[in-house]
Structure 1
Amino acid sequence: MTARAGTVVGMPDPRTGPAAPLTSQPTAQDEVVGICRDLIRFDTSNYGDGSGPGERAAAEHVMGLLTEVGLDPELFESEPGRSSVVVRLEGEDSSRPALVLHGHLDVVPARADDWTVDPFAAEETDGLVWGRGAVDMKDMDAMILAVVRQMVREGRRPARDVVVAMFADEEAGGTYGARWAVDHRPDLFEGATEAISEVGGFSVDVGGRRAYLLQTAEKGLSWLRLVADGRAGHGSQVNRDNAVTHLADAVARIGRHPWPVQLTPTVHALLQGVADLTGLPFDGEDPSSVDALVTALGPAGKFVGATLRHTTNPTQLTAGYKANVIPGSAEATVDGRFLPGLEDEFVSTVAHLAGEHVRLERIHHDVALEAPFSGSLVDAMVDSLLAEDPEATVLPYTLSGGTDNKSLSRLGITGYGFAPLRLPDDLDFAGMFHGVDERVPTDALRFGTRVLDRLLRSC
């Protein structure tokens, strides 16, 4: 249902724009830290079961930021409180295919007792903004909003039409956010062929050289429920058809399976780039060579190491109701992630590992993505980064998780991860995602606004 009527429109006419002189207007760099902190203060925790607070309050705040500068965004809801915001900016050349610039407003939950600070207080200390969502992904949301506000105030248009979207529910697969919008409001993305979102464009130290990892691929997602049925009975009796035993065997086989290393084109290109920067040898058939290159990426190796192979991690177990009663069924869940182009192999292998006594039920399944590290958009992203950091290099990489680009791919939209951040070498950025004490440098936020502004001017 639509919570606010509104037409998705272009930029205000610069001839009738703000009366105040441009010199008196705040810039994106002036605003981005404050916007980020304000967004973090909205608890938009997504528990995946519909019990969270939802995104409505944060979405209304985004609406205010956009309408304040003269835009007419639309807020819509898939369910009460599950709110997303979309606005279309008219470009200098609207005949070109449009670009989707999107973020998500929800965050994973945070237990305050585990944190050094209140995860929703958005404290700014020692040049860092702390809080849940600081890197996933209210930092990028803030950069997008700050840059858009600056462009509108200055009467500038992007190079082509840009659809700005702030989605609900990304942390649970996008069912109530991007997926709902794609299925029910495809008109919002009319003419769009490419998209930019989170978890790419951040810097890493590679052998003393700064490199930015531009996300061109992401693994597929397969959340599975394993169900074992057996013969219920007294715990003292011999039972050859024990559901818990069947399940435990399957969980152990799946969790311990030694998935082989398989280097997809994006991973191969990344490792070759790391080898070129470090002088380390690269032999895709030699596990020690591959491991050394992943290690050379420092904390970012947490992301990259999980993209060398499929993964299947058991995450939950449920069975029984009394110590001396053998239950008639038992269940487990597995978080599976498969490599681009190898979905069928993954599915068949997991089914074989589960065995004859266990059936598999899909909780959530979504595609793997892989886009070329080439073309005019990639060139523009690379050029925008290097204009701000000329001595750096840019490499492609695969994300081990997933983004809302999966949903947009259903409309034929090619997605990239590009949330540009120049980070301190000793910051464990990968460890911040869904971790405790999540934080982002304020200088990195300002850097990102400069890069995004350059990109929208040129792409």
Structure 2
Amino acid sequence: MELAHQLIRIDSTNTGDAGSSITERAAAEWVAEKLSEVGLDPVYVESGAPGRGNVIVRLAGADPTRGALLIHGHLDVVPAEPAQWSVHPLSGEVKDGYLWGRGAVDMKDIIAMSLAVLRQFATDGVLPPRDLVFAFLADEESGGFFGAKWLVRHRPDLFEGVTEAIGEVGGFSETFTGVSGDPVRAYLIETAEKGVTWMRLKTRGTPGHASMLNTDNAVAKLAAGITRLQDHRFPQIITPALQEFLAGVTDLTGMDFPEDDLDAAVARLGNLSRIVGATLRDTATVTTFHAGYKGNVVPSLAEATVDCRILPGREGLFYDELADILGPDIEREWDDLPPVATTFDGALVDAMTAALVAEDPGAMVLPYMLSAGTDAKSFAELGIRHFGFAPLKLPADLNFSALFHGIDERVPVDALEFGTRVLDRFLRNC
């Protein structure tokens, strides 16, 4: 708790703009100090720009011939407007059984859990079964281009021998109504995540006085294209991860998920429907629109940004579909992070399941697909198999998904304690 409280109080806001972001340096240096206190030798690396601090440390395991396990998390957080919050977002305040603040869920809580376990292992001389590589990273909230992606491309030596990884967003609990009518708790482990494309659109037209006729208006052309995109519904795709999740929920609850009415069926999942519903198809959401500089002047240029989330296996089809929707008059350029996916099997899954059940007997474990993206996309370039496993036992009535990037972000104190115990068990037997 103290580690999480202190870390939240360190401002590491990432606005996505190099000129206005607070860098991760202070948070990374604090992490390095906490590791050095227990005799570890962390490596501090700045990833492509001043202040973009990352800390990596390797803990030797009993069997160096086995592939190493990467445990990664990001130090940056999204902006927060203090006037909108019940507490100051950098306070790290504890009240009503929760730890409050920006990063309490995404993801300084998990950083603190990892630090607590790592520090205890170092203090007690624990020898894990395999090498463990802990990475505390910059810039995840803007795609990791000044964080994990830079490290993967410029310092792959830091991850030598790593074959598997765990990170956000998975291992959290969701309470369902079981077939018998009693509540049943399931922990969702992420096995796949959609790809991310940040697309910049431009249209050009003939500038001039707004009082005159103009049939080549850049703003109107871009607005029409954006409207077509917002009205478009991408095809429903049942990916292996979605199929396995829905089958698991059916076994737990008896709920039916007919393919011809899947949206309505998923909507019955309550708060969880926001995440699961977004994995039924590709999405393209307009987030910014910029044009003009004066009310009576038609500008020559209009620009918009579209956040695209693409299912595994759909990349080429998505871009073809997008080109048909927008047409030839709208220029497109983008940065993309591809989808990732793995299967829900193997010794690592068994170890995650065993650690959860040991702390919460009778609980179930389900795979699922994340609608957003994580640094797993960067580590996939090194052939690393990834799972979202940041264990938290949550109250049944907590709308957990709404806390990511939300106002009054907070995490239950007992969830942090539970997650630390699970992570300790897992890393002793991974």
Q: 2:345 aligns to what?
A: 374
Residues 1:77 and 2:51 are matched in the alignment: no
Residues 1:318 and 2:290 are matched in the alignment: yes
State which of 10, 17, 22 in structure 2 corresponds to 1:53.
22
Residues 1:306 and 2:275 are matched in the alignment: no
Q: Deviations over 1:413-453 (max 9, x none)?
A: 11110000000011111000000000001100111111111
Q: 2:249 aligns to what?
A: 274
Amino acid at match of 1:242: N
Kept in 2: contact 1:223–1:336 (CA 8 A): yes
Amino acid at match of 2:280: L
Q: 1:359 aligns to what?
A: 331
Kept in 1: contact 2:100–2:410 (CA 8 A): yes
Matched residues, number: 423
Amino acid at match of 1:89: L
Distance 2:227 2:256 in 1: 35
Q: Deviations over 1:385-438 (max 9, x none)?
A: 111111110101111110001100111111110000000011111000000000
Distance 2:348 2:31 in 1: 26
State which of 412, 415, 425 in structure 2 corresponds to 1:444.
415
1:291 deviation in Å?
A: 2.9
Superposition pairs of residues 254-265 of structure 1, within 5 angstroms:
254-265=229-240
Q: 2:199 aligns to what?
A: 224
Residues 1:37 and 2:1 are matched in the alignment: no
Unpaired stretches in structure 2, ≥5 consecutive residues? 178-182
Distance 1:282 1:80 in 2: 50
Q: 1:102 aligns to what?
A: 72
Distance 1:290 1:331 in 2: 32
Kept in 1: contact 2:263–2:277 (CA 8 A): no
State which of 318, 322, 327 in structure 2 corresponds to 1:350.
322
1:298 deviation in Å?
A: 2.6
Identity %: 55
Amino acid at match of 1:324: N
Distance 1:342 1:85 in 2: 34
Q: Return 256-265 or 427-436, whichever deviates more.
A: 256-265
Q: 1:291 aligns to what?
A: 264
Kept in 1: contact 2:58–2:132 (CA 8 A): yes
Distance 1:366 1:136 in 2: 19
Kept in 2: contact 1:204–1:297 (CA 8 A): no
Residues 1:333 and 2:302 are matched in the alignment: no
Kept in 2: contact 1:274–1:296 (CA 8 A): no
Secondary structure of 2:414's counterpart equals helix
1:127 deviation in Å?
A: 1.2
Distance 2:290 2:122 in 1: 53
Q: 1:433 aligns to what?
A: 404
Superposition pairs of residues 10-21 of structure 1, within 5 angstroms:
none
Moved over 6 A (4+): none
Secondary structure of 2:392's counterpart equals coil
Q: Return 233-242 or 203-212, whichever deviates more.
A: 233-242
Q: 1:169 aligns to what?
A: 139
Q: Deviations over 1:266-323 (max 9, x none)?
A: 011111111111112232x222x5532x234331221111111100000111111111
Kept in 1: contact 2:78–2:141 (CA 8 A): yes
Over the aligned positions, Cα root-mean-square deviation in angstroms equals 1.0
Q: 1:20 aligns to what?
A: none
Amino acid at match of 2:299: P
Amino acid at match of 1:286: D
Amino acid at match of 1:64: E
Distance 1:91 1:187 in 2: 18
Secondary structure of 2:354's counterpart equals helix
Q: 2:180 aligns to what?
A: none
Superposition pairs of residues 408-427 of structure 1, within 5 angstroms:
408-427=379-398
Distance 1:256 1:65 in 2: 51
| TM-score, reference length from structure 1 | 0.91
Distance 2:227 2:162 in 1: 44
Residues 1:65 and 2:37 are matched in the alignment: no
Kept in 2: contact 1:99–1:162 (CA 8 A): yes
Amino acid at match of 2:327: G
Amino acid at match of 2:43: E
Kept in 1: contact 2:10–2:90 (CA 8 A): yes
Distance 1:397 1:185 in 2: 31
Kept in 1: contact 2:166–2:387 (CA 8 A): yes
Kept in 2: contact 1:271–1:290 (CA 8 A): no
| TM-score, reference length from structure 2 | 0.97
1:335 deviation in Å?
A: 0.4
Kept in 2: contact 1:205–1:298 (CA 8 A): no
Secondary structure of 1:286's counterpart equals helix
Residues 1:86 and 2:59 are matched in the alignment: no
Distance 2:417 2:268 in 1: 27
Distance 2:105 2:195 in 1: 22
Q: 2:378 aligns to what?
A: 407
